[in-house]
Amino acid sequence: MTRRVYLVVLLLCLGLMCPLVTGIFMDKLASEKLCADDNCVYTISLARAEEDYNAPDCRFINIKKGQLIYVYSKLVKEDDSGEFWAGSVYGEQYEDHMGTVGYFPSSLVSEQHVYQEANKTVPTT
């Protein structure tokens, strides 16, 4: 009986030292993005959500119809991909989400004000 216990403990220790899953692979949305600067930290525009959007994974943000969003970059569309922008929500009623940057479909928003042109092409990481 004690040999079995030692064997189980040994197998558990080996399993903890060598995890089978190290992460989840997600397809890259695009190879390049358009930004106002080399680091994509300056706001390009302010957009208003025309529809609700529920984020499918951690790369995206949830948006609600009527919500304002600061846009920081625009992904360069590739074959068989949608057009996505990266931004963060704006407004006091969304304080718990402010500062969280993520992607959302550009087709669900309308630009309200353009602060500066997105004329820098930057590779995505």
pLDDT tens digits for 81-101? Answer: 669 999 998 766 555 555 788
DSSP state of 14: H
Instruction: For residue 15, tell me if it sits in a domain.
Output: no
Mean pLDDT throughout 76-85? 80
pLDDT for 105 beyond 80:
yes
pTM above 0.85, yes or no: no
Range of the domain at 94: 25-123
Residue 48 pLDDT: 96
Q: Using CA atoms, how far apart are residues 27 and 25, in angstroms rounded to an integer?
A: 7
Helix, strand, coil in percent for the chain, rounding step 5: 20, 35, 50
Q: Is 111 helix (H, G, I), strand (E, B) or coil?
A: strand
Confidence category of residue 119, pLDDT binned at 50, 70, 90: very high
Instruction: For residue 71, tell me if it sits in a domain.
Output: yes
Instruction: For residue 67, tell me if it sits in a domain.
Output: yes
Q: Using CA atoms, how far apart are residues 118 and 87, in angstroms rounded to an integer?
A: 13
Instruction: For residue 68, tell me if it sits in a domain.
Output: yes
Confidence category of residue 111, pLDDT binned at 50, 70, 90: very high
Report the CATH number at residue 85: 2.30.30.40
What's the total number of domains in the chain? Answer: 1
Instruction: For residue 117, tell me if it sits in a domain.
Output: yes
Element (H, E) at 11: helix 2-17
